[in-house]
Structure 1
Amino acid sequence: MAPGALTVDDTPMDAASDHESREEPISKASCEMCRRRKVKCDRMRPACGWCSRNSRVCVYKEKRKIIEESERNDQFEVRLGHLDALVQGLRQRVDSHISQHDAHHDTSPSLMSKSPSTHHDRHHSWHATASPESTRSDMLSEGARPPKVILDRPFNPTGGVKIPRSFTTNMKTVYEQEIILSMDPDLPPSDLLYVLVDLFFKHINTWFPLLDRKATFGTYFGSTSISRGDRVVLFAIIATTLRFATDARLTPGAKQKLHNDCKQKIELYALENVNLFSLKALTLLTLDVFGTSKELQGQTFLSLLVQYITHLGLYEGRRRLCWMVYVLDRYATLATPYKFILAEEDMKRFLPCRYDLWSNDIPVETRWPNGLDTTKLRLTVNTPENLGSFSYHCEVLGILSRVHNFLAKPLDIYSPQDVRSWQSTFVALEGELSTWLRDLPAEYGQISILCHSDPGARIINWIMLHAAFVISSIRLNSAAAYPVVQTDVFVPSYSAIQTCLSAVKSLRSIVQDVIETTGLSLLGPHFAFSLWTSARLLLVHAATMRCEIDSNVDFFVDTLAEMGRYWETAAKYSAILGRVTEEGRQGDKTLTEMRQRAHELSVLSDSTRLNALQPTSTRISSANELDYLEIFDFFNYPRSADHGSTAPVSEAPRFDMPVPLGTSGNFPRLGFLENMEMVRLAGNGGSDDTHQFMSRQPAWQPGAQLPWEEADDISRHKTAVYFTTRAYGGHVYIQAPLAAVKVVESEDETARGHQIRANLTIQGVFTNLGHVDRPFIYQVSKLAAGRSFQTYLVTARQPKQPSSNPCGPFPESDSKLPLGPICFSCHVTFKRPVPSFADLQLSSAQERFASILAQRKPDEWPTSPQLDIDILNDTFPNAGHGGFPIVDMYKVDMKAYNTNKPIPERRELLLYKLHKPIPAEDTNSHILVHAFEADRNGLLTISNYLGWGYNLGVAASLTYTFTVHVNSEEAVMRDGWWIQEVCWPRISAGRATLESRIWSPEGKHVASGYQDGIAGPDKKRRAEKL
């Protein structure tokens, strides 16, 4: 084979993807959806008319590859040769029985070098427990080699059918080779050996593509002699595949003895020989050992493999084998806090390519793995068309390696600077995963459909790839979602929680498809590890949230138990999960207490004595405590520095909690995803097109976090009581559209990450005050829908009584409380991005106010007041952000500019940016952040210009419209400061109109907000300005 071809590999069934790059005529068959519905399909590409109208995924099933006639004949010849060899063995047994008293037999001395009695005794052990049927099927292995005259005159049962000479030659060589294998005292009979090799390629090589099927069968059942190295690889195939064998001759005792014999021969050969044969055999044996829960022994073999790879320098010649060891090392080390044996810097080699390219000996170029610095290597090769599922599997494991190394570094969770650095690295790794996922081929998104239409080896590889992504996503996000220790600086991330739960949900759906197609036996211990990780994540979630255990845990336990029939490690996972789940539901300890105990054991085991005077721990852990450690230790991250042994474990994530009037201090501030946490409620509100959601976190209270204990004027306190007992209107204004966003995304999942419908306009009406001590209940209804444009109606109500947990998170039981009237409603429109045929706007705020903005850096201006009223600004100057969530806001001093100008010509400028990052692909969330910020202090500020700053009587928004003028990606908040320009064009009849313009850091007019509200002084109270 060519040097380049031996270095690459993917999966055995990926050969079909070679046809995807060819131009083929449009299929005349109907799409899969229309075929299932049994209706006529117009067969339009890329989507038929019915699928387009109903926003369904349109899939045309490709035609199967047409096998060339010569290739088909070769396959038939090999199969017939094998069958004819069995017939010849039967005939020879009959002839031997008839002529058993003859003195002379024409037998090859080379084939009879073994003692006849030894040969017979060996096979007698195989047949001692066999059924008559299995005994008859093994006659080939019991008889001696037939006379040469029989080999030269092949058996022809049809008589009149002429058999080609090539078939005669092939039959003869196959038969001779099987006689050689059958006489090997260390190998099973030839027919059983053939079955075992076939099972290897069916159950293992599909997701662990180490060998080529055609070459392997040619080596062991062809005309060439078997070398000692090939023989050792065959032992490894047998040891790994015995778990799938169902032959009656292979009793449990026989399986164990054969497995032990093969394992010993591989170990001896690998210790004495450092070559490719020993590497292949040891790689398969390591996989087998990890599948039987012998982690320490597997680590020993893995260390030996890495040393062999280092000495052999497998950089190009056998690249695929090196990647196999890399995969084993990653999965083996993930379950431990230790470093990888095969360092990431030692993997400076190209990714493997598709299996069909490697199998056909086609040298191609792929690319370097993502994340590898190739600038010093001066290589920019990138040919994704040559990549397959195994290539992407290796690539995502590279990201997972960086996640593992990142989490292993201790973090001082009490240091704001260290936490910010940690969060920055976290966001970068999350971006790597998102980019990798976005660059996957389109067929990755059709796993569920392909699982039913093409349940072969090809889809198995994509399932294994999805499992690897789920592990990576959970490994990264669980540290931010469920930190074992929490502080005011390091708090749980709601976004990470949702990401973890979504990953588990997606895997659960895939597993269901696998079970329905009876493909569970085709998956290996790596897949079992993904189930184990997902089930433990659900237990950690229940322990952290103090909620009931998700029923999906039972589903994963049963699935692992089924896989345990073949892989002992899966049975071990199932047993541990079953015990902990049962104890969590019925035992004396809660899951929260179990996690607490697991953390204490982890700290104790990691602690070391500083000197000999310190006492050693002699406590013996119980079996239950070891189970706790198995479940929860995987999630004991981030590892705390300096405070790891003293900081308490948080019983439940405490997000931002509203502070009662009269308190002050440093307040934790939430990001968008934490503050806007919602839960979808069961039921549909009485209609199939209606969806219900409930908020989980209290809304921010404007001014409640000012230092009121320092105020000595009762008038100021009365002002606070009026304006700080209500919820910030921006909370419900953007959370209601967010509920509509979740509905749109759930109905349009196939477009996620590509051109998801963007939120363009929100038209809201406020009808009642909102309270901070109870959740909002949202009801989403679809008003109009098309392919590119949709409109939804969202209404918000609150329970008539406070929540049982008024400080939040609100329990789902609050949704059962009697609801009050509608306090807010809005129309939300969505539209896909379109090209801009014209782009016109006013001069940007950066141009018109350049001299003012140049006076200071953005964050050197005063923070935006919590309540921008003169009476409070004078009482609490520079009070800071308080607990205002989502964005950092600073107010530009515009007094000089506004002097002597009419109020409609005055301007206010607010500079803002995200407090915590939001994924760039989540464009709708970025749009909603702009709307959230634009509602801050608008109608209150006008009271200062009108002279009502000390006796403001009323100020409230009635309607608020927010319109986005650009495609959604242009509203994404990256680096730089955004500007909100505010003016009041009309004030009359107790009403005030506020206009906001949102300017990007580059000076583009991105969005506008229009508020109509009531504003007026308090005629009964005329406080004087001090």
Structure 2
Amino acid sequence: CDRCRRRKSRCGRGYPSCQGYVTSQVTCQYGNRRCPGFAPGHRQVLESRIRQLEAQLEGSQSGRAGNPHTFIEESSGGNHETQMMSAGEQATRASQVGTQGPTPASTHESNSGGPEKPEAVLKPSDWVFQGTFARTASLEERKPPLDLIVSSTSVFFRHIHPWFPFLDSHLVLHDLADLREPTLLYYAIFGASIPFLYHPRLNNTQSDSFWKYTKRRIFIEASEEPSYAALEAATILTLDLSGMTNGPQVWSRLAVVARLAAQLRTASGRVLRQSVSGGSRDGRLATTRPSARQRAKLFWAIFALDSFISITTSQPTLLTEHILRPFRPSREATWLHEPSHPSASCSASYGSAEPSTYSVSAAFFKLLQLLDVSRSYHDLYLSYITLTGNDESGTVSWLDSFYSLSHAADNCLRGLPPWCRLLLNTNTTASYASQYSYTRGTERVRESATVSCANSARAIIDIASMFVKTHGDRIGWPFSWSIWTAARYLLTSAKAAGSVQLSSGFYILLDSLQELGKYWQISKKY
């Protein structure tokens, strides 16, 4: 206050008046411009504005707003301002699933210095695109600081590497000691690790700004200067995007990554160079070429991404069999014959394709085997939706393919090693063939398929109830799609049975989707 300023003493901000003035019963003196707090009536003005906005939003959602642009008059003193708010923008903010960054997009409010210009009337189908474009344009790209990038690397290997283990943790972490300028790989790791980082400098706006910088830098270099290092970063970025949305943002990146993956087959490395000169040069690849195992691991990681994205979006797979053929003979050796590190114990049996104990690489190898069957089922589904009603020969051929594939899937599930089995309440490996023995009866097929689907749904409920709460931060987004599929099946079954009461398992699945939505935006969309 002015009294303390003249006496060259400091006011106590925790008290309404200074301690010395309270004892002497003298009040503080403030100048006109230094009076603390808001002006009288400021809270009432804010409350009235909030009530007006809420009423206007309710009117636009209920369809009572005839004009797509609503005028909201604000009065403060003697000045009157008129602001325009698009009803389409309101609906977008309320219901949009954000794809701008790994955290929910922040609400960017316009300055109230003057009236905004009228916007073009948007159709409901354009609202989501307009909202995504507006958020992207309103963000400023910011280069993430080096210390945040370094700290995110360990987070990546704790939360994402366990279910997507194509990077060599020893090589990546070893380069952190001499890291002066982040490479594309570390930028990609940072972007994918943002949902798992708890840092005071990472609010919504800053996270989106950092992520926008890393995303565009990887996009540009992977398109203009393709290299092995750029492909590694683009693979992680595609994984990150697939956990946010299932739209063209993912398909376009997957198309580029899958096309470049075919160039990993050459042992000499002459088709796809290691890295490019400049600031993004990768120290891991400066002196030695990537080994055959590193190239194969990167390829099979892209294969898993292609499977996840294609199956969950009902699209044809991009890695066809003629691309996969050169890599298949060495797949077992790539994932099971791991080189021993001094600080790591050898925990797998390398004599056969069935390791006796668990390891991250062994688990991913079993996942790749299951994805082979899943891709076959997916191709069978795509051929099913093209069948015509009067094509009897095509229907019989499709049923034969379905039965043979059921045998292959059953054998694959029964061949799971003991460390890969869970003691669940249901038996999910019941064979199709043993249930109806190639019976052509439609009702028998439908009944057996219903039993199998119900068992699968119950198994997913058991897995979700056992692991999502405790290990949700280390479960990938594809499991969210499985939960969503099981929930839709329970809804369909209840509707077909005429039941209005859903089982408790349905709400377990909904809670699991909400829990996984903390880390993967696509889960909240599901």
Kept after mapping to 2: 8 A contact 1:305/1:325 = yes
Shift of 1:356: 7.7
Matches of 2:382 and 2:364 in 1, distance apart?
27
Matches of 2:169 and 2:467 in 1, distance apart?
24
2:154 pairs, out of 185, 188, 198, with 198
Shift of 1:383: 3.8
Matches within 5 A, 1:530-679: 530-548=482-500, 549-573=502-526
Q: Normalising to structure 1: TM-score of the pair?
A: 0.31
Name the structure 2 match of 1:264: 216
Kept after mapping to 2: 8 A contact 1:331/1:526 = yes
2:183 pairs, out of 210, 231, 234, with 231
Name the structure 1 match of 2:192: 240
Amino acid aligned to 2:499: C
1:327 pairs, out of 279, 294, 304, with 304
1:400 pairs, out of 374, 379, 387, with 374
Name the structure 2 match of 1:384: 354
Gapped runs of 5+ residues in structure 2?
A: 1-141, 268-291
Name the structure 1 match of 2:338: 358
Kept after mapping to 2: 8 A contact 1:236/1:284 = yes
> Does 391-400 or 270-279 show the bigger shift?
270-279
* Higher RCO (CA-CA < 8 Å; seq separation 6+): 2
Shift of 1:543: 3.2
Kept after mapping to 1: 8 A contact 2:246/2:309 = no
Shift of 1:497: 0.9
Matches of 1:407 and 1:430 in 2, distance apart?
13
Matches of 2:521 and 2:468 in 1, distance apart?
19
| 2:397 is the alignment partner of 1:445 | no
**Structure (1/2) with the larger strand percentage:** 1
Matches of 1:399 and 1:294 in 2, distance apart?
22
Shift of 1:492: 5.0
| Counterpart secondary structure, 1:270 | helix
Kept after mapping to 2: 8 A contact 1:286/1:298 = yes
Matches of 2:157 and 2:333 in 1, distance apart?
19
Amino acid aligned to 2:252: T
Shift of 1:394: 0.6
Amino acid aligned to 1:334: I
Kept after mapping to 2: 8 A contact 1:419/1:489 = no
CA deviation digits over 1:488-541, x for unaligned, max 9?
96875211111111111112111111145x211111211111111111122222
Matches of 1:327 and 1:314 in 2, distance apart?
20
Kept after mapping to 2: 8 A contact 1:236/1:281 = yes
Name the structure 2 match of 1:510: 463
| Counterpart secondary structure, 1:519 | helix
Matches of 2:442 and 2:336 in 1, distance apart?
52
Amino acid aligned to 1:529: W
Name the structure 1 match of 2:403: 427
Change (3 A) 1:382 1:406: farther
Matches of 2:423 and 2:227 in 1, distance apart?
39
Change (3 A) 1:359 1:566: farther
2:449 pairs, out of 496, 502, 519, with 496
Name the structure 2 match of 1:343: 320
Q: Normalising to structure 2: TM-score of the pair?
A: 0.58
Shift of 1:274: 1.7
Matches within 5 A, 1:467-866: 492-515=445-468, 518-548=470-500, 549-573=502-526
Name the structure 1 match of 2:16: none
| 2:230 is the alignment partner of 1:278 | yes
Kept after mapping to 2: 8 A contact 1:202/1:522 = yes
Change (3 A) 1:544 1:422: farther
Shift of 1:415: 5.6
Amino acid aligned to 1:546: G
| 2:432 is the alignment partner of 1:436 | no
CA deviation digits over 1:763-807, x for unaligned, max 9?
xxxxxxxxxxxxxxxxxxxxxxxxxxxxxxxxxxxxxxxxxxxxx
Kept after mapping to 1: 8 A contact 2:296/2:334 = no
Amino acid aligned to 2:370: V
Amino acid aligned to 1:547: S
Change (3 A) 1:265 1:397: same
Matches of 1:383 and 1:335 in 2, distance apart?
28
Kept after mapping to 1: 8 A contact 2:336/2:362 = no
Shift of 1:280: 0.8
Name the structure 2 match of 1:170: none
Shift of 1:258: 0.7
CA deviation digits over 1:808-863, x for unaligned, max 9?
xxxxxxxxxxxxxxxxxxxxxxxxxxxxxxxxxxxxxxxxxxxxxxxxxxxxxxxx
Matches of 1:219 and 1:210 in 2, distance apart?
17
**Structure (1/2) with the larger helix percentage:** 2
Matches of 1:490 and 1:297 in 2, distance apart?
42
Matches of 1:195 and 1:403 in 2, distance apart?
41
Shift of 1:211: 1.5
Shift of 1:400: 0.9
| Counterpart secondary structure, 1:388 | helix
Matches of 1:394 and 1:360 in 2, distance apart?
22
| Counterpart secondary structure, 1:339 | coil
Amino acid aligned to 2:151: V
Kept after mapping to 2: 8 A contact 1:448/1:513 = no
| 2:191 is the alignment partner of 1:211 | no
